[in-house]
Amino acid sequence: MEYERDHNTSSSSPPSLCKQLASSTLRGSFLNIPVVDLSASDEELVVRAVVKASEEWGIFQVVNHGIPTELMQQLQVVGKQFFDLPEAEKEAVAKEEDFEGYKRNYLEGIKAWDEHLFHRIWPPSCINYKYWSKNPPRYREVNEEYTRHMKKLTEKILGWLSEGLGLPPVALTKSLGGEMAEYVIRVNFYQPSPKSELALGAAVHTDIGAITLLVPNEVPGLQVFKDEQWLDLEYINSAVVVIIGDQLMRMSNGRYKNVLHRATLDKENLRILWPVFVAPKHDLFVGPLPELTGDENPPKFETIVYKYYLHQTIRNWTLDKLPLY
Ligand code: OGA
Ligand code: NI
């Protein structure tokens, strides 16, 4: 696909944006975004399905993943309770100089329309509980329990993706820094927008980290760009959405695809989503794994310190002032 080539550099600004944005959206057509049932008795089949979806789509949903439905509901309840607090209480955990904290973005120019709460959840040494809201009181307990499950599921999926590359199951997790890989949750809260055709909750982007595991509420609006079309992600109760980010594409030397996606707003209904972004430890060099490259397979991406990739990409986003719609 066209955008892979352009993602070859450390910048990941989506190319040909105008062309892509001009493409129509297949509203109500939930075609084909793969769904993988992790409880299938033949693990080989699960591995193959996860690998194929990562090669061809860069996004898939998993069901029967082992995270208790009750816990997923609790996560949603405490998140919603936070956003329902009076503005002054939410400001108690407001974002400061770093990315963590609460931020509200309702711009008149309809460029952005979101509120979010962002904080690290792993490793424990990087957590700043200042940004975990004290209200509702169960916020911390529920998020800690959820983190344990997220980490387990992420490592399981990374294990299968490692096998898909012909590597030992721990290969990808290890290359992200093992226990020091960074997990960050962002609760995205999108009020209904009367101008929903014009505004976006999140601009067109690929996820910068390695992999994202996301739980949405039941209101559709996450769209992915595939074969020159925008496709809606179908809501499946209790499913977890898995998105391949830039670093897995780079580490796999292009075998796994990152995926362009965006968040639309709904005219009448609140959208709220819980992505967990998994990224390499910040000072690690990240690029095609040496086992995957050689004379026959030259590296397609440069190896650079993740922190630089991250900063460069965010700076490019800002400089490019990506059109949001
Ligand atoms: C993100 C993202 C989608 C959404 O936060 O990276 O893609 O619908 N979110 O909020
Ligand atoms: Ni995203």
pLDDT tens digits along 129-155: 999 999 999 999 999 999 999 999 999
- Cβ of 202 closer than 6 Å to ligand 1, yes or no, is yes
Asked whether the predicted pLDDT for residue 181 surpasses 60, the reply is: yes
In this prediction, residue 198 carries a pLDDT of 64
Q: How confident is the model at residue 197 (pLDDT cuts 50, 70, 90)?
A: low
**Nearest residue to 161 via CA among 15, 53, 273:** 53
In this prediction, residue 11 carries a pLDDT of 35
Which atom of ligand 1 is nearest the CA belonging to 190?
10
Cβ atoms of 204 and 259 within 8 Å: the answer is no
Question: pLDDT (tens digit, 9 = 90+) per residue, 229-283?
Answer: 999 999 999 999 999 999 999 999 999 999 999 998 898 999 999 999 999 999 9
Question: pLDDT (tens digit, 9 = 90+) per residue, 288-313?
Answer: 999 999 999 999 999 999 999 999 99
In this prediction, residue 19 carries a pLDDT of 38
In this prediction, residue 200 carries a pLDDT of 76
Which atom of ligand 1 is nearest the CA belonging to 201?
10
| Residues less than 5 Å from ion ligand 2, measured at CB | 207
Distance 275 CA to ligand 1 centre (A): 7
Which atom of ligand 1 is nearest the CA belonging to 221?
8
Distance 103 CA to ligand 2 centre (A): 17
Tell me 129's DSSP state.
G
Q: How far is residue 73 from each of residues 77, 143, 145, 212, 233, measured CA to CA in Å?
A: 6, 12, 12, 19, 20
- Cβ of 222 closer than 6 Å to ligand 1, yes or no, is yes
For 220, the token pair is 């559709």
In this prediction, residue 7 carries a pLDDT of 29
Bridge partners of residue 3, in order along the sequence: none
d(CA 238, CA 65): 9
Continuous H helices in the chain = 2-6, 17-22, 43-56, 69-83, 87-90, 139-164, 171-175, 246-251, 306-320
Q: Whole-model pTM above 0.85?
A: yes
